[in-house]
Amino acid sequence: MANLVNIKIDGKNIQAPEGKNLMLVARENGIFIPSLCYYEHIEPPLGTCRTCTCKINGKYGPACTEKVHEGLTVEVDSAELIDTRKALVEMMFAEGNHICPACEKSGNCDLQHMGYELGIAVTRFPHLFKDRIIDYKPSRMVMEHNRCIKCKRCVEEVFTDDGKRVFNYMNRGNETFVGVDYIQEAKLSEAQAINAMKICPTGAIIVRGVSMTAPFGDREFDQQSTQQKKVLKKPTLNRPAITEKKIIATVSLAGCFGCHMSMLDIDTELLDVIELVSFDKSPLTDFKQFTTRCHIGLVEGGCCNSENVETLRKFREHCDILVALGECSVWGGLPSMRNSIPLSECLEEAYLNSVTNEPGGNIIPYHEDLPKILDRVYACNEIVKIDYYIPGCPPSANHIWKAVKNLLWGEEYSILYSEFKYD
């Protein structure tokens, strides 16, 4: 019997037989490390997918290729590692062409399942949209190269009775694909072919005439996660439960109203938003005064005059959460271009040197009721405490509402590159 060694996973002291695979030790101790290529009886482990990346003795590495030894320290559950693993799986989705609703493996697919486990709704990477072939030449199988993640399981696990490989890596680097030896493939029995289909963690290997379909609810990953060994919640619509409508206030200070136009650009989700929130003081309602305390205030534009400052202070006073929306609000934006020029010169240029057709109209306006122009344009956080910032000029509608729903109901979200770019 192997010696017991003392290791630590996420601060938990664990005793395990020396040399045992770290993935297995973690699983047996109720610690979930996501994996895709790991297959218990492939030795040495493949280590191809990196989905199991952890910090092992302070260094990043795959847990599935690690054997436990005295003093091993492993970090699994940090925000950084969770995001790294998520990014790796997102890359797999972006690299292939995965259309789950039309895929024979949907519901029984490890990759799809891992997407759910890691909370992937969208991928942050641009899709490659490769035009890969679907190989119908094998006699028993169909090889769907668009779904292969090159995990190498089939290469290492599928053999004919006389010990010949059926699958092999072909080409190199980015051009690598899993080729089928048609002669060897034809030698497989029906059961061996079905086993190959099951070994594949995606829907890349399909056996002709064998259906993987099962009603929703009966598929492998519908009810439980085999990796986490826990019952999953029934899928629910990705929207917060409405207990009470949240109240939003919005304002445009020294801005162009573009952020407000963007807010309205939300398309079909606008109906959801209307169900979830009501607007108080806002140009959208034309309420000039606050009628109640608001859960969230969205402020477009910075402060260029005394009225902006007064309005912003009122928003801080009446809103639980205050969000600077758009570049002008975040740092001053376009109006702050005047900050490098003395105010007197700006006024002279605008009112004294500009052309007017009104005789005697070349004057700098002054009246005690007019808001006083500030010496420069101020970002909102220079005047009051801002809780959150949504940059962009303007930020996209989806970005705004995803952020608002997250702040109001804690709803998780991913921002697409297209929703978060500044150009």
Q: Would you tell me which residues interact with ligand SF4 (CB under 6 A)?
A: 98-100, 103, 105-106, 109, 111-112, 147-154, 167, 178, 199-205
Burial of residue 103, with CB atoms counted within 10 A of its CB: 0-12 exposed, 13-18 middle, 19 or more buried: buried
Q: Which one, 204 or 325, has the nearer CB to ligand FES? A: 204
Q: Which one, 62 or 107, has the nearer CB to ligand FES? A: 62
Q: How far is the CB of 157 from ligand FES (least distance, A)?
A: 14
HSE, side-chain direction, 13 A CA sphere, residue 53: 18
Q: How far is the CB of 163 from ligand SF4 (least distance, A)?
A: 19
- The structure tokens listed for 367 are 């009246």
Q: Which one, 148 or 383, has the nearer CB to ligand SF4? A: 148
Out of ligand SF4, ligand FES, none, what residue 52 binds, judged by CB under 5 to 8 A for its kind, is ligand FES
Q: How far is the CB of 111 from ligand FES (least distance, A)?
A: 11
Asked if 9 touches ligand FES (CB under 6 A), the answer is: no
Asked if 227 touches ligand FES (CB under 6 A), the answer is: no
CB 391 within 8 A of CB 422: yes
Q: Which helix (H) or strand (E) holds 61?
A: strand 59-62
Asked if 85 touches ligand FES (CB under 6 A), the answer is: no
The phi, psi pair for 306, rounded to 5°, reads -65, -30
209's torsion region: left (phi>0), alpha (psi -120 to 50) or beta? left
Q: Which one, 94 or 415, has the nearer CB to ligand FES? A: 94
Distance CA 86, CA 91 (A): 9
Q: Which one, 158 or 330, has the nearer CB to ligand FES? A: 158
Strand 4-9 and strand 12-17: the pairing is antiparallel
Distance CA 289, CA 395 (A): 26
Out of ligand FES, ligand SF4, none, what residue 54 binds, judged by CB under 5 to 8 A for its kind, is none
Q: Which one, 146 or 336, has the nearer CB to ligand SF4? A: 146
Q: Which one, 149 or 299, has the nearer CB to ligand FES? A: 149
Of 9, 25, 50, 326, the one binding ligand FES by CB under 6 A = 50
Query: Among the candidate windows 41-49, 126-134, 361-369, 383-391, which touches ligand FES by CB under 6 A?
Result: 41-49
Q: Which residue in this structure is represented by tokens 């990796």?
A: 227
Which neighbouring-strand residues pair with 17?
4
Q: Which one, 36 or 323, has the nearer CB to ligand FES? A: 36
Out of ligand SF4, ligand FES, none, what residue 148 binds, judged by CB under 5 to 8 A for its kind, is ligand SF4
Q: How far is the CB of 64 from ligand FES (least distance, A)?
A: 3
Distance CA 304, CA 254 (A): 6
Out of ligand SF4, ligand FES, none, what residue 98 binds, judged by CB under 5 to 8 A for its kind, is ligand SF4
Q: Which one, 51 or 308, has the nearer CB to ligand FES? A: 51
Asked if 21 touches ligand FES (CB under 6 A), the answer is: no
Out of ligand SF4, ligand FES, none, what residue 51 binds, judged by CB under 5 to 8 A for its kind, is ligand FES
Query: Among the candidate windows 33-41, 152-160, 166-174, 275-283, which touches ligand FES by CB under 6 A?
Result: 33-41
Distance CA 164, CA 241 (A): 56
- 320 residue type, one letter: D
The phi, psi pair for 116, rounded to 5°, reads -70, -45
CB 307 within 8 A of CB 283: no
HSE, side-chain direction, 13 A CA sphere, residue 190: 4
Asked if 54 touches ligand FES (CB under 6 A), the answer is: no
Q: How far is the CB of 20 from ligand FES (least distance, A)?
A: 15
Distance CA 261, CA 280 (A): 17
Closest C-alpha to 79, from 7, 8, 21, 10: 10
Q: Which one, 199 or 374, has the nearer CB to ligand SF4? A: 199
Which residues are within 8 A (CB) of 295 and not within 5 positions of it... i.e. 6 or more apart? 246, 247, 248, 319, 320, 321, 408
**Core vs surface per residue 110-147: b (16+ CB within 10 A) or e:** bbbbbbebbebeebbeeeeeeeeeebeebebbbbbbbb
Q: How far is the CB of 298 from ligand FES (least distance, A)?
A: 43
Query: Among the candidate windows 43-51, 68-76, 95-103, 238-246, which touches ligand FES by CB under 6 A?
Result: 43-51
Asked if 47 touches ligand FES (CB under 6 A), the answer is: yes
Asked if 201 touches ligand FES (CB under 6 A), the answer is: no
Residues that bind ligand FES (CB under 6 A): 35-38, 47-52, 62, 64
